[in-house]
Amino acid sequence: MIEPARAAGAAPFDVAIVGYGPVGATLANQLGQAGWRVAVLEREQRIHPLPRAIHFDGEVMRVFQGIGLGDAVQAVTRPGIKGMHFVNAHDQLLLVRGGTAALGPHGCANNHYFHQPELEAVLRQGVARFPNVTVFEGHDVVGIDESASGHAKLALETGTGAPAGTLRARYVVGCDGARSIVRRVLGSTMEDLGLHQPWLVFDALLRREVALPDYTVQHCDPRRPMTSCNVTGRRRRWEIMLMPGDDPDTIARPEHVWPMLARWIGPQDADLERCVVYTFHSVIAHGWRRARLMIAGDAAHQTPPFLGQGMCAGIRDVANLAWKLDAVLHGRIDDSLLDTYESEREPHARAFIELAVRLGDVIQATDPAVVERRDREFLQGETRIFEFPAPRLGPGWHSGAGVAGTVFPQPRLADGRLLDERVGSRFALFGTPAAMAAAMADPRWQRDDVALLTPAEIGEPLRGWLAGQRAAAALLRPDRYLADRVDGPEALDRLAARLPGTHSQRPDA
């Protein structure tokens, strides 16, 4: 491994990523794949061994597919096809998050279950493919000096607190978790979205077959709200809300935990992998970027895990950021594009946190009157099924018209390939024969970072989408969000002028 002190003498890195959790590792893959010189700084010597996230969604799987790790990630996950059931103290069904065995809009299952350390190992093996990415494990970032022009300087210490030199980078992305130093240097404030509740998280490895639901159950029992999940293989997770009178210092002891799980399993059935009290938070930062510094993942937002969306939001952050950093580092566009990162992502992340907080209100209710009303309303109104949200990005590098700013599905093309397999991490333009003939003849569309899909190759799903939208053409961004749809040659002409690197820089400008 190169020492940062030696690396410090060399030219600045293009990007320094602080934190090598799932979000930092995904960004390292994205920027490594794009050929940038990247330093990853991680204070720990090895992957965080304790499981936290257990679920991600189809859009996130598509990001892993985009960094060439779809098959490797698939090998350590299982598709979740049965959804999530919210039941009351009498095991009556209140609310269902629908599950399906069919493939979802992203060309894969809608939900995936996994063991976080195994996923992180796959992401790190992915990073090892890129000689242009250097990982400094056991290096704690303790200070950031922004006074120089052209780069930021990171001060480093080893795990034992010994100085470990400095490292320079043109951009710094803090994927450094809930206590982010990069966020502190940015001076971002945190908005409190209302939910802060300690829960006991209990992971067990079954020793033998036990009759347990193979889907997630939210036990909305006011005496002790709990969640039970089938993770992967023999792994099962219980999350148990702490109640008034519980002692957070002792509740994780086996003699307290096993009795709470007695209706499902006992020590004769399973080995306890770990049992830890976490406080679930709902917060979002104001100020995700200033000049060379940015934050992503838990550094920018934290959500209670009732939707399994904390890490997912972080992966979406870096999918949004990676192509913008790439365009800025190439000099195709000025770095004000990076300001659209927060304006687009913040409302999107907020929508998921707010839904998780509302679900938390359903699950965590303990007041008898509130619980009685909740159960009555749900049961009288039939069991409610809620769909997975697909919010629009906030204002930024998309037109905002119609469905622009929402994530685009990943259908198969006429030759059977998935859309992203054909277009890679580029912009993609597809349209009617007339629109594509015009684009093929226009030199502004002939660029390495744009895939032009011919009418013959797009296949029925995309043709149907164009017809349904009455669109002549559509432009997808490298993160697969729809930049704009246009309805004729003049609008297509204006869209060409708005690509990064041409005169105007926003699709709605």
Ligand X SMILES: Cc1cc2nc3c(=O)[nH]c(=O)nc-3n(C[C@H](O)[C@H](O)[C@H](O)COP(=O)(O)OP(=O)(O)OC[C@H]3O[C@@H](n4cnc5c(N)ncnc54)[C@H](O)[C@@H]3O)c2cc1C
Binding range to ligand X, per CB under 6 A, among 207-215, 303-311, 419-427, 450-458: 303-311
Q: Is 309 a residue that touches ligand X (CB under 6 A)?
A: yes
363 in contact with ligand X (CB under 6 A):
no
Binding of residue 308 to ligand X (CB under 6 A) = yes
Residue with smaller CB distance to ligand X, 295 or 328: 295
**Which range, of 301-309, 373-381, 396-404, 407-415, touches ligand X by CB under 6 A?**
301-309
Does the protein bind ligand X through residue 176 (CB under 6 A)? yes
Which one among 31, 108, 295, 312 touches ligand X, defined by CB under 6 A? Answer: 312
Could you tell me the maximum CA-CA distance found in the chain, to the nearest angstrom? Answer: 74
- In this complex, which beta carbon is closest to ligand X, that of residue 282 or of residue 399? 282
Residue 23 touching ligand X (CB under 6 A): yes
DSSP string, 174-226: E---TT-HHHHHHT-EEEEEEEEEEEEEEEEEESS-----SSEEEEE-TTS-E
- Report d(CA 203, CA 294) in Å as an integer: 34
Among the listed residues 311, 333, 438, 495, the single contact to ligand X using CB under 6 A? 311
Question: Closer to ligand X at the Cβ: 308 or 405?
Answer: 308
CA distance 430 to 485: 10
Residue 310 makes contact with ligand X by CB under 6 A: yes
CA distance 59 to 410: 9
41 binds ligand X (CB under 6 A): yes
Nearest-angstrom CA–CA distance, 64 and 203 = 25
The pair of structure tokens assigned to 280 is 């679930």
**CB-based contact 483:427 (threshold 8 Å):** yes
Quick one: 140 or 479, whose CB is closer to ligand X?
140
* Stretch of 95-103, 169-177, 347-355, 381-389 contacting ligand X, by CB under 6 A: 169-177
Residue 195 found at the interface with ligand X (CB under 6 A): no
Instruction: Tell me if 318 contacts ligand X by CB under 6 A.
Output: no
- List of E strands, 123-162: 133-137, 139-145, 152-158
**Count of residues engaged in binding ligand X, rule: CB under 6 A:** 34
Residue 55 touches ligand X, criterion: CB under 6 A: yes
d(CA 447, CA 65): 23
Binding positions for ligand X, 231-290, rule CB under 6 A: 278
User: Counting contacts by CB under 6 A, is residue 140 touching ligand X?
Assistant: yes
304 binds ligand X (CB under 6 A): no
Distance CA 367, CA 204 (A): 30
Distance CA 140, CA 474 (A): 44
Closest CA to 493 of 468, 473, 476, 466: 473
Write out the residues near ligand X by the rule CB under 6 A: 18-24, 41-44, 48, 52-56, 140-141, 175-177, 181, 201, 278, 297-298, 305, 308-312, 314
